[in-house]
Structure 1
Amino acid sequence: MSVNWLDLSNPPHLPTLYAHAAAKRKITGNTLPEQGLRCWVLVEAKPLAAFRGVCGLAPGPLLPPTWPQVLAFGLQMQLLTDKHFPFPLLGLIHLTNRIRVLRPLGGVTQLRIGVFVHNLQKHPKGATFDVVTQVDDLIGPLWEADSTLLCKGVELSGDVPQPGTQQPVAMSELTRWFAPANIGRRYARVSGDYNPIHLSAASARLFGLPSAIAHGLWLEARALAALDSHLPKANVELSVAFKKPVRLPSEVILLSSAAGSSGDFQLNGHGDLVHMTGNWRPIS
């Protein structure tokens, strides 16, 4: 698609954007804006080290594959709280996330990040759309991702797209870890994502949840950290689908099946509760 880019001189100011998000509670339309946002950002050592610590990532010369998404968070917030964006940010549900690492994420100190939205689709509960993030270094395209979000209550014409079917894959337990009650606040400090549903039981109850739930992107980063020795460092697509939320605190179990340059994984709770499914594949 053709994107009308608006280039920013500085990354957005998150506290102001949270105020805009809190003020907008109604659906105001059913078409997506065509404007995207771009900005150069610095890769700073201290925030990166804090992110590695919260996500269980070992120090290394390459950026974690989910780190560019953290750097893009402010731009995504500005795009989704703009007056031309039709849906309220609070209440959007993250369904899937797909990352493509085009080249090794090493030796970079500055990145140009661009974000835009597209692919509005009818859904049984409303409508879905994709937030696309593109990252370039001084050489060219380096990394890209798209996240599918659901907005309940949107009315669109047409038929609901039918999801494809997947054959079950045999997997065995790789590791397990405990997600403590404060992990939402800890991840918020390194990612900027202060959604109330993640911060405490009290703030989550304001949105109809019995307890705080873990950030989906923290679960993804933590799982990829455990899978690091199996994952290619470039020319790889990493995909996850978020299923049942992880209520805090709780223990989760990571299952995996690796086969060369491809593999599958799944994050379970106890009693065969599936929280997240995922895979990695070479970019075709």
Structure 2
Amino acid sequence: MPTTELDRLPGLGPLYLRAAATTPLRRTDPSRARLPDTEYVRSEITVDRQHLAEYNRICGFDNRDELPLTYPHITAFPLAVTLMTDPGFPFPLVGLVHVANSITRHEPLSVTDSLTQRVRLSGLRAHPKGTQFDVVTETLVDERTVWTETSTYLRRGTGDPQAPGTSELAEPETTEPTARWKLPRDLGRRYATVSGDRNPIHLSAVTAKAFGFPRAIAHGMWSAARCLAAFAGRLPRSCTVDVEFAKPVLLPSRVEFTEEAGEQPGRRLFALRSSSGKAHLRGSLRTL
């Protein structure tokens, strides 16, 4: 696999402009689609404490020297966007749906660590509602892989009814919420500022309506981060978190977080639901 080493963070503004300009050209027949095989690498990544504090505030984490489980997703996001705006990438960036995410942490990361991140695309496959693929990220410290992530995206379109869909994680059986959260109207804009993910569906009702949503919706990775923040002080040192994004969270809204022990030892199930009980997110936390 060809490797491209970047000595500075890609600018997301120019990447989004490239994505908009090339959207009409990215209409590849899914049966002929191929993913770029380039891997992007960025080394000597340092964490800005002010940025981390803002991320923690928006997502509900405590301010600590240990990085939140989801934070490396933020530092790797520009590399993922670079891959998804590559001339050889077959799909428009706008319109991709983030349907699932899996993170494995082998050991905690510190705000003082110097990180290396490697990002690549893989797993192009049919889905009943279109085509799926994965963005795979590895985070290393002193040449040790300490954190990995697989983000699964769906390009809606003509799918294969016989293909496997996104598997549904089990939900907590209890309907009694562990916590209730009120989400403000500007949450999407605030998270976009700290994450760099400025998808129009998250920014305002006007831009979201252009894509078929009645109001702006919360970012899936904000929802995942907010759920994990609810495990403050209880996250295992080594663990795997799997989440699936179901019904979008419209803004503003009120949501309910629920968790309980799973059937297997060392596993917790959790969910983010509307007041009517419909799942926005299903998750599983497993100790390694």
Q: Same fold (TM over 0.5)?
A: yes
Q: Does structure 1 residue 265 correspond to structure 2 residue 270?
A: yes
CA contact (8 A) 1:120 1:128 kept: yes
Aligned residues: 279
1:185 corresponds to which letter in structure 2?
Answer: R
* SS of the residue 1:229 aligns to: coil
Gaps of 5+ in 1: none
Structure 2 counterpart of 1:56, from 56, 60, 67: 60
- In the other structure, the counterpart of 2:128 is 124
What 5-or-longer segments of structure 2 have no aligned partner? none
Structure 1: distance between partners of 2:168 and 2:15: 38
1:1-284 map, 5 Å? 3-25=1-23, 26-28=26-28, 29-40=32-43, 41-106=45-110, 108-153=112-157, 159-161=162-164, 169-171=172-174, 172-232=176-236, 234-258=237-261, 261-283=266-288
Deviation by residue 1:118-159 (Cα, 9 ceiling, x = unmatched) = 111111111000110110012411101001100012667x94
Question: Once the two structures are superposed, what CA deviation does each residue of 1:2-50 show, in whole Å capped at 9, x if it has no partner?
Answer: x322111111011100101112323235111111101022211111011
In structure 1, C-alpha distance between the alignment counterparts of 2:33 and 2:77, rounded to whole Å:
23
d(CA) in 2 for partners of 1:147, 1:137: 21
Question: 1:108 touches 1:137 (CA, 8 Å); kept in 2?
Answer: no
Distance across 2 between alignment mates of 1:101 and 1:66: 10
CA deviation vs aligned residue, 1:206-260 (integer Å, no higher than 9, x gap): 212111000000011111101223321x220011000000000000000000366
Q: What SS is found at the alignment partner of 1:24?
A: helix
SS of 1:122's equivalent in the other structure is strand
Counterpart contact for 1:44–1:109, Cα < 8 Å: no
Q: CA RMSD in A?
A: 1.9
Q: In terms of mean alpha carbon deviation, does 100-109 or 143-152 score higher?
A: 100-109
Secondary structure of the equivalent of 1:263? strand
Q: Residue 153 and residue 189 in structure 1: after superposition, are their counterparts in 2 closer, same or farther (change >3 A)?
A: same
Q: Tell me, what secondary structure is at the counterpart of 2:177? A: strand
Contact kept? 2:169, 2:284, Cα under 8 Å: no
Cα deviation for residue 163 of structure 1 reads 5.9
Cα 1:240–1:271, aligned 2, differ >3 Å: closer, same or farther? same
CA distance in 2 between counterparts of 1:11 and 1:169 reads 40
Paired AA for residue 222 in structure 2 = W
SS for the counterpart of 1:230 is coil
- Taking only the aligned residue pairs, the percentage that are identical comes to 38
Return closer, same or farther for 1:58/1:123 CA change in 2, 3 Å cut-off: same
Is the partner of 2:178 in helix, strand or coil? Answer: strand
